[in-house]
Amino acid sequence: MTYTHVVFVGHHKDRLMDSITRFRKYPIHRVTLVLGSDDSSGERISKRVAEKVKAELSPLFEVSIIRVDKRNIMNAASQIVDLIQKERQRGYDCILNISGSLRTFSIAAYIAGCLTQSTMITSIPRYDDTDQEVGVEEIIELPTIPVQFPKKDQVQLLEAIASSSGYLEDLILQMNPHVKDEPDDFAKERSRLTHHLKRIEEMGFVTKEKIGKQVMFSLSPLGRIFAKVCRTGMCR
């Protein structure tokens, strides 16, 4: 397997360069530098760092620069999942490098990395006697938190919520249309789906709201990302 090294760019060029060039555990085909989509003063610094890194790495790798939402963490995580999906479709797995990234990028990258079970790395900076950063002391791989993935029926239920009104009665008929004219079967199916809905709500994938006498379920931001992961076959 050849890898795409996805690097979240902050303000530390030398740290980023060391973390890219010194991590040689996996063969690297391309490097993707990730910037925030806003035009803040801090992001302008990151852009200059990215351009310098690209200029130095271009003789060695195919290098590109992309932008993601750094203010909305869940939206950023969703965009990173999209990137991982595209790279895997091209035949490359991803290394997510958060060595020099801003905190919001680190959190979003970690969420995306755990959901897709991607390799993630960070570096420990080295400092001299005057407390000036002088490179990287060590590069470490980050452990992925085991995600409690829903069971097959629960995944199907998430997909049904994504494509319907989300009302419980509609979900029952969408999942099992044949129970419409069978009161006993309808009640059993309602009980079964209510149990699964409770479980995926506890996992943080859905939220519920009572509207009048009906209960409506919606995918949470995490649920939308997870549904995307499953649709693209990245559930492992």
Indicate left, alpha or beta for 135 from its phi (over 0: left) and psi (-120 to 50: alpha): left
Q: Which residues contact 43 (CB under 8 A, 6 or more apart)?
A: 35, 36, 70
Q: Rounded to whole angstroms, how far apart are CA atoms 179 and 39?
A: 54
Which positions of the chain have pLDDT values less than 50? none
pLDDT at 233: 62
Helices 221-231 & 103-116, crossing angle to 10 degrees?
40
Whether the CA torsion 157, 161, 167, 173 is positive or negative: it is negative
Model pLDDT, residue 195: 92
The confidence score (pLDDT) of residue 175 equals 87
The class (CATH top level) of 152-231 is mainly alpha
Instruction: Give me the CATH topology for the region 2-141.
Output: Rossmann fold (3.40.50)
Query: Positive or negative CA dihedral for 223, 93, 118, 136?
Result: negative
Q: What is the pLDDT of residue 207?
A: 94
Length of the chain: 236
The reply to whether domains 2-141 and 152-231 share a CATH topology is: no
pLDDT attached to residue 6: 97
Amino acid sitting at position 136:
V
Where exactly are the structural domains of the chain?
Answer: 2-141, 152-231
Return the pLDDT at 32. Answer: 97
- Contact assessment for residue 179 and residue 185, using Cβ atoms and an 8 Å cutoff: yes
* pLDDT for the residue numbered 234: 58
Residues 207, 217: contact at Cβ < 8 Å?
A: yes
- Per-residue model confidence (pLDDT) at position 232: 65
Q: What is the pLDDT of residue 152?
A: 83
pLDDT value at position 235?
59
Residue 17 in tokens:
């360069």
pTM: 0.82
